[in-house]
Amino acid sequence: MKSLEELRAIREKMKQQMDLRGPNEDNIRVVVGMATCGIAAGARPVMAAFLDEIEKRGLKNVTVSQTGCIGVCRLEPIVEVFVPGEEKVTYVKMKPDMVPAIVEQHLVNHNVVTDYTIGAAE
């Protein structure tokens, strides 16, 4: 069974990493719409997949957050990506299996995954 002891060990590891890293400037933000229709359309596993992938790759310059309604029910789940100095990118009708490509291509290599964007859907 997992225990609070294990959480303590995670804390120690994270603290060491923080000391090495220092404050980071170019923070990328991933925002997932989590209002009623987002949740009904599958936003929860999409959100979990982003957190998973970001943890696995150890990306320290990405924050994932939740917001309410982004405004277009039929395109939910919707995810917005903000890279400093670049235009906002909106991904629509998201599924967990689309997440690794977005993380690798967009968040790491700064190439938008055009096929998944709102522009491609419209």
Residues that bind ligand FES (CB under 6 A): 35-38, 69, 71-73, 76
Out of ligand FES, other proteins, none, which partner does residue 76 contact, by CB within 5 to 8 A per kind?
ligand FES
Point out which span in 61-69, 75-83, 92-100, 106-114 binds other proteins (CB under 8 A). 61-69
What are the C-alpha distances in Å from 51 to residues 25, 74, 85? Answer: 20, 24, 23
Do 70 and 80 form a contact (C-beta atoms < 8 A)?
Answer: yes
Residue count at the site for other proteins (CB under 8 A)?
A: 33
Cis before residue 77, ω within 30 degrees of 0? Answer: yes
Instruction: Give Cβ neighbours of residue 106 (< 8 Å, ≥ 6 apart).
Output: 81, 83, 89, 112, 113
Q: Does 18 bind other proteins (CB under 8 A)?
A: yes
Q: Does 27 bind other proteins (CB under 8 A)?
A: no
Q: Does 7 bind other proteins (CB under 8 A)?
A: yes
Residue whose CB is less far from ligand FES, 34 or 83: 34
Q: Does 108 bind other proteins (CB under 8 A)?
A: no
Strand positions, DSSP E, 1-122: 28-33, 62-67, 79-82, 89-91
Do 54 and 64 form a contact (C-beta atoms < 8 A)?
Answer: yes
Interface positions, 62-101, toward other proteins (CB under 8 A): 63-66, 68-69, 71, 73
